[in-house]
Amino acid sequence: MIVSLYQQPVLINKCGYNRFALIAILAAILAASSACGISGDSHKEIRQTVKNTGRETAVNPVFAAEDDGAKSLRINGAIQAVQSQRVTAPRLSAQTSQNMLATYIVSNGSRVRAGDVLVEFDSQTQMKNILDRQAEYDGLVRQIQRKQADHAAAIANDETELKGAELDAQSALMEMRKNDLIPQNQAKINMVTLAEAEAKYKQLQETLDLKHEARAAELRILEIQRDRAKLAVDQAEGNIEKMTLRSPMDGLVVLLQIRKGTRQVYPQAGDEFGTGRGIMTVVDTARMRVAAMLNQADVSRVYIGQPVEVRLDAYPELVFNGSVEQISPIGTGTRRLRQFSIIVSIMESHPNLLPDLTASADLLFNPEAAHD
């Protein structure tokens, strides 16, 4: 309780009052102050004022009683979700243009469960891509099969030719063994025939190895093209799956505004989104908190775990129990005015306890007295 005592200014002039008049005035002031509960220090201050008789002095004291102790400290802030998931437009694989047309967007404020469809994008382009790449893949598979059959026939012919060259070389070698029994000119013919047969066999062996490498390379090129087409099919199928966005958890849908011309509007079906563009946030309303700022003069009175009563400005009849969860160790603001961020966790849940609502939090210093 603040007690004020107002006295009319008392003019003290060394020529205007005698000693007895001063004593009477002082006695009257002291008596009035005692009746109002003014402390001894205040009496001393008044006496000191009256004692100054060297010039005219105005005495008009105002006194304050000692503070009986505040029961709570009120701070203002906003409701936040402890857990939330931002939903953005997906990044499609192997795409140059990332803009996607939304064909369905869930309504703002909808309650969803984990796995529910939130957004669907037009997948016609991806379906066409799948069909084109699948046709390319099937064509390459058939080419590889034909090429493998051709290679098998060519290899069989090469091996037959090589086997014939080997037999010719063996036959020429057997004829060479008769050189001692046949005329000299025939013996020279046998030597030439053997040299030719051996050279041909050696050439066919080397050529056969080169043909094997060439055929393997030719087949590998087709296989790489086939695998690339299959990868394109898989990517297009994966893109189609990405174009259906599902809720990562149970919660409340909060759409994020987008710019259309000069206006900020909520997204809807028919809007286009680029890769990574935010569409909505799914908020877990079962766990909410209050984010506020605390004056530096009150920091020493607040502690972690301190009980708090939270009220919503939009629903003043609702009161939630909470506690101080975090206090920032570093202040912000000007050199004269510093503030510290504070987080108050809310222990209950309620359908009207929604993010971004303004709220007041009463930090209780004496909870029992505050409830009384």
Q: Structure tokens of 353?
A: 């306890």
Q: Based on the structure, what is the number of domains in the chain?
A: 4
Residue 2: give the domain boundaries.
1-68
Mean pLDDT, residues 168-194 taken together? 81
Contacts 24+ apart (CB under 8 A), 35-44: 36/3, 36/5, 36/63, 37/3, 37/65, 38/3, 38/5, 38/63
Q: Give 59's pLDDT tier (boundaries 50, 70, 90).
A: very low
CATH number for the domain harbouring residue 315: 2.40.30.170
Q: What is the pLDDT of residues 203-249, one digit of tens each?
A: 888 888 888 889 899 999 999 999 999 999 998 899 999 999 999 99
Neighbours of 80 (CB within 10 A): 18
Q: Give 339's pLDDT tier (boundaries 50, 70, 90).
A: very high
- Do 281 and 256 contact (CB within 8 A), yes or no? yes
Residues 113 and 252 in one domain: yes
Mean pLDDT, residues 297-326 taken together? 94
Residues 237 and 249 in one domain: no
- 77 pLDDT above the threshold of 60: yes
Residues 158 and 19 in one domain: no
Q: Which of 242, 265, 299 is the last residue of a domain?
A: 242
Highest mean pLDDT (candidates 33-37, 58-62, 259-263, 323-327)? 323-327
Number of H helices, E strands in the chain: 5, 17
Q: What's the mean pLDDT when you consider all of the chain?
A: 81
Residues 254 and 116 in one domain: yes
- 41 pLDDT above the threshold of 70: no
